[in-house]
Structure 1
Amino acid sequence: MRQLCYVLLLFSPVMAMAQNVMTWLMTDLPPASIRVAGLPSDGITDQQIAYIRAHWPEVEHRVAYANLKRSWALLEAGQQACYSFTLITPQRLERAYIVPTSVLPPPQLIFRRDALPSLPLNAQHEVDLERLLAQRQLRGLLSEKRSFGLTIDHALQQRSAQALLEVTPVGSLGENIFARLLVNRTDYTIDYDFVYAYYLKRDPMLRELLTLPIAGNAAPIRVGFACPRTAWGKATALKISSILATREGVQMLRQSTERWLSPESRQRYSDALEAFYHARENPALGLTPP
């Protein structure tokens, strides 16, 4: 088997056009992908790509780290590469062939334990985000340039200028913000369950924090591999999907993702998880003609 070549700079167009090369555009967001000494290790997509590589030895697999904007620009330019971790939305399904790989809980509120009595909750014990942003007791802190889906993003954009919510360029991966919660420099943030789980493994003190779902944002999200809407992209997406559409492949997808979910999230979204992994054995799942 050819040895995997990890590339830390974006590939050249000539390299990308090689028929025997599969280039993966990787995100630098733990634990979606966890870089150790500049190389992929045991993150969600790291494990998924390692599995695909082992079952597709006819090509040379290369990895290039690129941000979201750059990755989508390459896909829309028709480069022969696939992006490893994209949220699946109707808009993105029009722009790429997407192979579903995981179901994840939606973003949730992560907060200090002593903030619980002041949180505005509905009858389902979900946080009313608009009321939270309107009240003056609790301080929020978010990373800039993060998207949390249409419902949450709209509420954040419509908040009052007097809202006690700070948006910061630091802590883009959660670590600094979670640390600020622990030392009472803020009361809450919004992030994904799997991101919080990653930092919890690094710092057990984060167990002092609590999480709750956000009202109107209870639907789980789907993520997957995105390939360009070209003949090459369609063939590649079908090849990847066929490799994953086995009992062994589905079990790998489940294991790579669910180890980063809290027990509460696994229980809360158990029906959605079971339905997704049952459907995942279909090689054409999610793939539609351009």
Structure 2
Amino acid sequence: MLTAVIRPSPTRVRRFNIPRPVLATLALSLVAAAPCARAQPAEPAVTKITWLASDHTPVMTGSDASGVTNRVVTYLGKQWPQVQHEIVFANAKRSWQMIENGDEVCRANMVRTPEREKSAYFINTQLTPPPQLVVRRDRLAKLPRNAAGEVLLQRLFSDTRLRGALIDGRSYGPALDEVLAARPANGAVSMYSPKDFGARILQMISLGRADYSIEQDMALVMAGNPKDLASVPIQGASELVMAGIACPRTPWGLAAIRGIDRAYGRPEGAANLREGLMHWLTPETKAHYAARFDAFYRERAKPSRIDP
């Protein structure tokens, strides 16, 4: 038996004669009401980057006189020649204030922290060995240390017999920053804002105007490896510290950091950064962190993800 097929009744189309002016008005109102993707603003043109630097010391001359920053500017001058790169010397505190203010400046070799990322765009450029306590050799026996020979920083900050000299506005890495922020208000530690990378602080220690500071291998090398100073590891600060290039969290800063990352996110960029860091490390430090350095620079040879 065949199943009966029910045909749908034909659809009636009703036509309305709507005057053209009314149709035009209706069309405009529908377009205005419909959601549409807003055109993204054009990325600002970056024609000049002012690089803030304090990695400078009169002990060194030539290409090493401004350390990491000079190397960055030299490399970018070849890879991004459309931009004028200029170095201006400013201490750590002033540099960070300018970045927070949104000035069209960038700074190399800045420790990257979540707090700083609220005001700046970053790209990672180097894993740096943790800072160590730099102390006069004739004060070594007075340091509070654990069985492994590491300095107990909280106890040291409580000892008013020893005078510390640290750099204001500088991050020493999350672990040390936390201890520093919680130090007792006993005057044992004084904060300074030198224009260089820390050479003047080390000179103060050599002259007996302070007993210790917190610094990296680089600062000792730039100061000429003073024989009267010694470096001692700090308990709780054994991890490598991530550092990078920072530009203000503004449309200009985003355009600048993306351009910088394009220059470094390739094998030759990673090789340039690695060569620059190794110049400042001791053979023992290089060997100790070799595997970590290898992994980091493999990743640095690729473009970074930079979210607005």
What TM-score do the two structures reach when normalised by structure 1? 0.74
Contact 1:194–1:260 (8 Å) recurs in 2: yes
Q: Which residue of 1 aligns with 2:50?
A: 24
Q: Which residue of 1 aligns with 2:134?
A: 110
Change (3 A) 1:109 1:244: same
Q: Which residue of 2 aligns with 1:193?
A: 217
Residue type of the partner of 1:26? Answer: L
Tell whether 2:254 aligns with 1:234: yes
Q: Which residue of 1 aligns with 2:162?
A: 139
**Identity rate, percent:** 31
Contact 1:108–1:191 (8 Å) recurs in 2: yes
Q: Could you tell me how far 1:178 is from its partner in structure 2?
A: 2.8
Contact 2:133–2:233 (8 Å) recurs in 1: yes
Q: Could you tell me how far 1:97 is from its partner in structure 2?
A: 2.0
Contact 1:25–1:81 (8 Å) recurs in 2: yes
Contact 1:108–1:212 (8 Å) recurs in 2: yes
Give CA-to-partner distance per residue, 1:56-108, whole Å, 9 cap, x none.
12333334444545544554555544333422111222332212112222221
Between the aligned partners of 1:172 and 1:28, the Cα distance in structure 2 is 6
User: What SS class does the counterpart of residue 126 from structure 1 fall into?
Assistant: coil
Residue type of the partner of 2:54? Answer: D
Structure 1 residues 121-136: aligned runs within 5 Å: 121-135=145-159
Change (3 A) 1:218 1:191: same
Pairing partner for 2:241 from 212, 221, 231: 221
Residue type of the partner of 2:135? Answer: F
Pairing partner for 1:61 from 75, 81, 85: 85
Tell whether 2:274 aligns with 1:251: no
Q: Which residue of 2 aligns with 1:46?
A: 70
Q: Could you tell me how far 1:142 is from its partner in structure 2?
A: 0.4
Q: Could you tell me how far 1:171 is from its partner in structure 2?
A: 6.2
Residue type of the partner of 1:106? Answer: P
Residue type of the partner of 1:25? Answer: W
Gapped regions of structure 2 (runs ≥ 5):
1-42
Change (3 A) 1:159 1:172: farther
Give CA-to-partner distance per residue, 1:184-223, whole Å, 9 cap, x none.
5544322232112210x2xx5x133221121112222222
User: What SS class does the counterpart of residue 245 from structure 2 fall into?
Assistant: strand
Residue type of the partner of 1:244? Answer: Y
Pairing partner for 2:122 from 88, 94, 98: 98
Between the aligned partners of 1:274 and 1:115, the Cα distance in structure 2 is 37
Change (3 A) 1:251 1:151: same
Residue type of the partner of 1:29? Answer: D
Change (3 A) 1:157 1:207: same
Tell whether 2:307 aligns with 1:289: yes
Between the aligned partners of 1:67 and 1:180, the Cα distance in structure 2 is 17
Give CA-to-partner distance per residue, 1:215-249, whole Å, 9 cap, x none.
11222222222233344433432222121122222
Q: Which residue of 1 aligns with 2:190?
A: 167
Give CA-to-partner distance per residue, 1:23-67, whole Å, 9 cap, x none.
133122336x99979x99551121112111111123333344445
Change (3 A) 1:272 1:124: farther
What value does the CA root-mean-square deviation take over the aligned residues?
3.5
Tell whether 2:202 aligns with 1:178: yes
Between the aligned partners of 1:181 and 1:70, the Cα distance in structure 2 is 24
Contact 1:34–1:42 (8 Å) recurs in 2: no
Pairing partner for 2:281 from 242, 255, 261: 261
Between the aligned partners of 1:35 and 1:183, the Cα distance in structure 2 is 20
Contact 2:130–2:238 (8 Å) recurs in 1: yes
Contact 1:152–1:217 (8 Å) recurs in 2: yes
Contact 1:238–1:283 (8 Å) recurs in 2: no
